[in-house]
Amino acid sequence: MFIPAALPPDPPLELNGDIISLLSEADIALGRLDGVAEFTPNPNLFLAMYVRKEAVMSSQIEGTQATLLDVLKFEAERGEGDIQAEIGEVVSCVAAINYGLSRLAQLPLCLRLIKETHARLMQDSRGSARDPGEFRRIQNWIGSGADITKASFVPPPPDVILRALYDLEKSMQSDVPMPVLVRVALVHYQFETIYPFLDGNGRLGRLLVTLVLCEKGALKKPMLYLSYYLKRYRSEYYERLMAVRDAGDFEGWIRFFLQAVIDTANHATNIARQIVGLNAAHRRCIASEFARSPQAPALLEWLYDNPITSIRKAAEALSVSIPTATKLVRSFEDLGILVETTGGMRGKLYAYRDYLSILCDDDAAFEAYTAVDQALSTRLRGHA
């Protein structure tokens, strides 16, 4: 069993050389990302979808196979299938992210908030019977199934968890001068090492990164989620955490964490800029084609939170009749803004393909999902 010492590390961190350079680069990347949100007319255009994307990636690290497209299609049609349970797990992760962020307005980042967010995370997921919202009272371990002697890591025993968690809470709320990103890296390591719940520790630990950044003012909008990077470099991620436990290599972990922030922030900034550009182009397009229709701009804005839809759902969202929604959706289809994805006569679903192609740049399922419409060009017919 491993019992972590309280933060900050002793001996003190050596924050010099390449760590200082990475810190500077990470701060610039975060500032650039915040700037996109600050000067975007409606940052919520992509924020809600980016939260969904993080939930998918974070769940995939834990073995879930559901994709962003699976979740969006599920939301569009509430269908049933073999992947239903996994989609429910991702949907619960989305709810937990939103819940934790909203609670920061009423609570400091504390153990109460962590427990409440964990309870929401476990709701409707495969860990819903494993004491959601309660710190574990039995020993757990990582790897090797039921044989603790062959585990890759054994976290602290239950009788020392509360002491370790209170130390973590003090560290999160501490006024001791420390670069915010270094503090976040240490908090994430410490939480993952304490492993305080029976299930959901990884997903909650990754969410904790965004919560700390928002509470400390390093991010104005919750737009930084590291799961895509951590999934891509999963082996090194776990190796860096173990190197701290085995050899006290905090500096190696911090370097890895800062690089994750840099790459993720730059990637998110690129996505945000593409979506802003796409939104401006499509707004010009519909302003030309639907000069007297207030429903057309409303449908376009709604699609950024519901990029896979049916005519019935569009009608409900816009409070219009089915015939009116049908005409509007098919007009968007003629312009290449929407693409019909089912190829059937009934139960048709329409996808905002250009938008999804930006969000799903790392999802191999996207092209297969929209393959029924390979012949249809999605260019804006000169309106861009």
Per-residue model confidence as pLDDT tens digits over 207-238: 999 999 999 999 888 888 899 899 999 999 99
**Residues listed for the chain:** 384
Instruction: Answer with the residue of higher pLDDT: 147 or 117.
Output: 117
Bond prior to 294 in cis (omega within 30° of 0): no
Q: Output the pLDDT for position 78.
A: 63
Q: Are 194 and 161 in contact (CB under 8 A)?
A: yes
Q: Is the peptide bond before 8 cis (omega within 30 degrees of 0)?
A: yes
pLDDT value of position 342: 82
pLDDT at 75: 83
Percent of the chain with pLDDT over 90: 63
**Which H or E element spans position 317?**
helix 311-318
- At residue 38, what is the residue type? E
Extents of the domains making up the chain:
18-269, 290-373
Adjacency order of strands within the sheet including 308-309: 308-309, 350-351, 339-340
User: What is the average pLDDT across 30-54?
Assistant: 81
3-class secondary structure, 3? coil
How far apart are the C-alpha atoms of 220 and 263, rounded to whole Å?
19
CA 120 to chain CA centroid, Å, is 15
225, 50 contact by CB (below 8 A): yes
pLDDT of residue 365: 46
| DSSP code for 329 | H
Average pLDDT, the chain: 87
Task: Give the β-pairing of 350-351 and 308-309.
Answer: antiparallel
What's the CATH superfamily of 18-269? Fido-like domain (1.10.3290.10)
CA distance 265 to 263: 6
Q: How far from 367 is each of 303, 358, 360, CA to CA, in Å?
A: 19, 12, 9
Residues 6+ apart with CB under 8 A from 32: 265, 266, 269
Residue 164 has φ and ψ, to the nearest 5°, of: -65, -40
What confidence category does residue 374 fall into, taking pLDDT thresholds of 50, 70 and 90?
Answer: very low
CATH 1.10.10.1200 given to domain 290-373: no
Tell me the per-residue pLDDT of 291-300, one tens digit each, with 9 for 90 and over. Answer: 888 999 999 9
d(CA 358, CA 18): 33
150 DSSP 8-state letter: G
More confidently predicted of 75 and 106: 106
Q: What whole-number distance in Å separates Cα of residue 381 and Cα of residue 95?
A: 38
Cα angle 101, 102, 103; round to 5: 90
Strand partners, 142: 153
